[in-house]
Amino acid sequence: MKKISAIFISIILTMPLFAAWNASTMSGNWSDSGIWNQGTVPSTSDDGVNIGAGTVVTIDSAVDPVKSIFVKPNASIVFMEGASVTSAGLTLDGTGTNLTFLGGSYVTSSRINQKQNGCGDYIFGGIDEFGKFKAAVAKSINSTNRLQMMSGTTATYNVAASNLITQKSSGLDDNAIFYTTGEFQQMQGEFVLDFSNILLQDLFDAGIEGGTYYVALVSFGVTYKTLGGSEFAPTLSDNSVFGDFVSFEGFEWANDSKNNNTLYAVLNINPSVPEPSTYAAIFGALALAFVAYKRRK
């Protein structure tokens, strides 16, 4: 009997432990084991990963592949420059969720899914934790299936001078903010294009002169349809913001096709327009000249 008991205990000890979902209980870096309920960084040994309600998880490096990821209400994932994660799928699972890309990439063998209308926004580019502006980069998302963008949701593109290009090209576009090799895109939300961060010095530094420029928004190898199956016609939100040098001229598709090509935002750049600070300096100089003139009189 003792021998049987010993064998039984040995079997129990050598059996793999039951896997469970790993969930973030506080905000922090993905690589910090202290923010996860299991006390370990997520890996393929977990059943999946929950980004816990109200938490913000930042990925700032290449991390281990995981199974499905669910972003719970009012939670978000922030991809920093140099970040990447691979999973079997990602679901924005509640209101107030978002995916923010300040660089980095996300790879999935399934769709990037929204559970319901009004659930989940996408943000490309913005201010990092050091107060520096970071443009979203090519291949911010590399999906082998589809991106879902349901009604009541928004894709916000915070664009820098470095995002501007002078030529359009069909297919793979290294300047694309959102790059995918997916089969099918479902989109019926709004686009917010924010160019207010582009300054005159940025244009000079990038060698940009006046003229028509393009921002490649989504690119390569997909058919674009709305959730209802109609051809995708992008809409520009009333909340869109443009800088002093930028006027929006509309959307265009490479080769005038919505299939297997790139969607561009068309912009007119006029770097000769002074910035507000320049106007202030001019006004100040005129005021001083007027005062000097009055004193002379």
pLDDT tens by residue, 259-294? 667 888 999 999 987 655 554 554 555 555 555 545
Per the domain annotation, does 136 fall within a domain? yes
Give the pTM: 0.81
Q: How far is C-alpha 153 from the geometric centre of its chain's CA atoms?
A: 13
Per the domain annotation, does 5 fall within a domain? no
Per the domain annotation, does 86 fall within a domain? yes
Per the domain annotation, does 1 fall within a domain? no
**1-5, 64-68, 81-85: lowest mean pLDDT where?**
1-5
Per the domain annotation, does 168 fall within a domain? yes
The model's pLDDT over 236-247, given as tens digits with 9 standing for 90+, comes to: 899 999 999 999
Q: What is the DSSP string of 72-133?
A: -TT-EEEEETT-EEEES-EEE-STT-EEEEES-EEEESS-EEESSTT--EEEESEE-TTS-E
Number of domains in the chain: 1
Could you list the residue range(s) of the whole structural domain that residue 135 is in?
A: 25-296
What residues does 49 pair with on adjacent strands?
A: 22, 69
Q: Could you tell me if 151 and 193 are in contact, meaning their C-beta atoms sit under 8 angstroms apart?
A: no
